[in-house]
Amino acid sequence: MAAEGGWIAGARRVLSPNCDSRPPGTAASLLLLHSISLPRGEFGGDAIERLFTNRLDPAAHPSFADLAGLRVSAHFLVRCDGGLIQFVPLQSRAWHAGVSRWRGRERCNDFSVGVELEGTDDRKFGTAQYESLLVLLKKLQIVLPLRDIAAHSDVAPGRKSDPGAGFDWARFFAGLARR
């Protein structure tokens, strides 16, 4: 089974309180890709989980001060090693896109699934991440009416740059076509 109760099989569950209900009758039709690392350029720690669960100590690193009080989440995080964490069930709205617009629709959180790739907007992503992302997308396509895939930079141009030039869209779509 791809998903049960809004949770994807094979993903580690870490429930984020930073979510709410989607508007009535709104289905997730957009997969929205992001990149994140905390601190920037450092990978493998627990700071992202702490941020998404409101447990990040702003004094733990100088760059965390700006994150104090921030309430954000995503549905998924794909780690550098391909590990998958799910923070928000699919039927709920994660808080990942901020002020956003896709194909004339405002408020992308309402109709999207947010996937964070552990990384930065100026670094290449690894094979394990592409493989994990492709497996995840196939599972999501079984249970959601996904029609579009976009970058955070596509829905918030000028404000966001992720996942960035390091994300190989041609590789991703070629992998999707092979599955």
Catalytic residue positions, numbered: 116
Burial of 25 (0-12, 13-18, 19+ CB in 10 A): exposed
Which amino acid is residue 107, in one-letter code? R
> Residues near 142 by Cβ (< 8 Å), separated by ≥ 6?
2, 3
Instruction: Count Cβ atoms within 10 A of the Cβ of residue 50 and give its class: 0-12 exposed, 13-18 middle, 19 or more buried.
Output: middle
Residue 105: its H or E element? strand 105-106
Give 20's strand partners. 93
